[in-house]
Structure 1
Amino acid sequence: TWDACQEAVGSGDVINAGSSGIGVREGWWYPKSLEAMCPGLPDYKALLEEGCVKALATAETEPNAQFVAAPADWITYVDETIDAFGFEIEPITSGSSGALIATLKGAYDRQQPIMGWGYSPHWFFDKAEGDYVAFPAYEPACFTDPAWGPIADKTHDCATPSGFLWKLMNRDISLKAPAAARIYYLFTLDARTVADGMERVDVEGVSYDQMAADWVDANETVWRGWLK
């Protein structure tokens, strides 16, 4: 998490080697078709309406709406957000990232109402016709100061932080292998490349090693620049 990364860099044992160039976003994702059942989306206030709650309710969660949550070991603050806004929503934890995607994609393909944890870069969320619920923009005080934000006595009444993936490296290793550290400093990718690679692994069944080898073969002009 961001806090853990900041703590690691602050310890002096870890170096922040800069942005990877990979822009990331995560949050409450839904298919665009849901907007017909939840007028007002992507504004979060639409989730407070009875009709929207009913549209997202399932036999497992009714009378509450269902939210397809990420695996339990992911830090998403969904429970805190539900509590902050008083949503009538029950999060159903996914057993794995694969199960999360399968549930959301299955409902999307069947054109059924669904909402759950989404993130980019990812081949499904980047290609599907969907959007993210619009919460108030994130600021650090949102997670610590109940007076911040639209809900006066609650924290987490805002969106999830977004930005770029940062590159971290062990300080001792960077001193022992300065040439490798320099390559790491120069290394960048883009979100599209990451999403395409994930799709090859998840959908086509290509191994990580093969996917990486194919990228190296196709991008010699890129990685050669990191070696100069």
Structure 2
Amino acid sequence: MARTRDAALAAAVALTALTGCGAADMTRQTSPYAAAEGSRTVTLSVQSWVGAQADVAVAQYLLEHELGYRVDTVQIDEVPAWDALSQGRVDAILEDWGHPDQEKRYIDDKGTIERGGDLGVTGHIGWFVPTYFAEQHPDVTDWKNLNKYAEAFRTAESGGKGQLMDGSPSYVTNDKALVDSLGLDYQVVFAGSEAAQITQIKQFAKERKPFLTYWYKPQWLFEKVPMTEVKLPAYKEGCEADPEKVACAYPHTPLQKFFNARFAEGGGDAAAFLKRFRWTTDMQNDVALMIAEQKLTPREAAGRWVKDNESTWRAWLPS
């Protein structure tokens, strides 16, 4: 579905152990605990956006405190994480936004990765404008009217065109193709990361400036900066098949978990627990908000959530 993700969030993203649709490419990094058969160790891939950090934080806390595992984490970009998972350098990815080409390669063809089930959260990528601007200019929420507002969205970085702000080039994005296919007078500008994009969005909002941005749900920032989605041409199955000619909206994607095949079969209680790990968008946002806005460490946020939600997580534990 695989989905730029304030000083507080930047600090959270920089945490070494647990640092949403770009992390540094760390595909050469591995954990001595990954694929360690017969030992109570688990290695989890951590994506760079805070929602995915929330997943891993809670899973790690419960694996360690309830099941007695040693948990290691590795931060890798979305696509390279599949390679690491296939090779056993990590045991599980807990939030994937949709990579059908990787699924075919590693699940269908090689058999080195297995599906781990639904995370319980539905992800959606889209284009958004601040609600204060949409209320003043209601027609901006139809893509056909975007060229009318290109000048309002122009920045120093957009080369005389309107700016469409993206996060990291490593995220799932069709935006350059969409701009071309729909004939829009816009330039895609990458902020570089979720943290940088959030900083920019908050600055725009503070100054009440208009902006157009690639963004995604679930994401805690909507609670701080209300945004309204721009309607793109309706998504239809297969409309994104040619990445150079995409002219449709992003789908709504039930986010999925994936496991190394050996871990899925021989991972014991850890694999059983992660298969049963399933929570809601609101639950994920609660933890993400604690990490990004309240400045709790991922471990502190997970501990607080676990304390308040025992009836939920007890059902995830193996019998």
Shorter-chain TM range is: 0.7 to 0.9
| Match of residue 301 from structure 2 | 211
Q: 1:101-180 residue pairs with structure 2 within 5 A?
A: 101-144=198-241, 155-180=245-270
Mapped partners of 2:245, 2:186: distance in 1? 18
Given that residues 38 and 46 in structure 1 are in contact (C-alpha distance below 8 angstroms), is that contact kept between their aligned partners in structure 2?
no
In structure 2, give the amino acid aligned to 1:159: A
Mapped partners of 1:72, 1:171: distance in 2? 29
Divergent runs of 4+, >4 A? 36-39
| Match of residue 189 from structure 1 | 279
Q: Tell me the number of residue pairs that the alignment of Structure 1 and Structure 2 aligns.
A: 219
| Match of residue 149 from structure 1 | none
Given that residues 153 and 211 in structure 2 are in contact (C-alpha distance below 8 angstroms), is that contact kept between their aligned partners in structure 1?
yes
1:17 Cα offset (Å): 2.2
| Match of residue 107 from structure 2 | 9
Deviations 1:43-91 (A, max 9, x none): 1101132xx1111112443531111111122231111111111111112
Match of 2:292 among 194, 202, 206: 202
Given that residues 174 and 180 in structure 1 are in contact (C-alpha distance below 8 angstroms), is that contact kept between their aligned partners in structure 2?
no
Given that residues 42 and 131 in structure 1 are in contact (C-alpha distance below 8 angstroms), is that contact kept between their aligned partners in structure 2?
yes
Say which structure is richer in helix.
Answer: 1
TM-score under structure 1 length normalisation: 0.86
Q: Could you say what secondary structure the match of 1:141 adopts?
A: coil
Q: Could you say what secondary structure the match of 2:140 adopts?
A: coil
TM-score under structure 2 length normalisation: 0.63
| Match of residue 312 from structure 2 | 222
Structure 1: gaps of 5 or more residues: 147-153
Given that residues 27 and 118 in structure 1 are in contact (C-alpha distance below 8 angstroms), is that contact kept between their aligned partners in structure 2?
yes
Report whether the alignment pairs 1:87 with 2:184. yes
* Identical-residue share of aligned pairs (%): 25
Given that residues 116 and 259 in structure 2 are in contact (C-alpha distance below 8 angstroms), is that contact kept between their aligned partners in structure 1?
yes
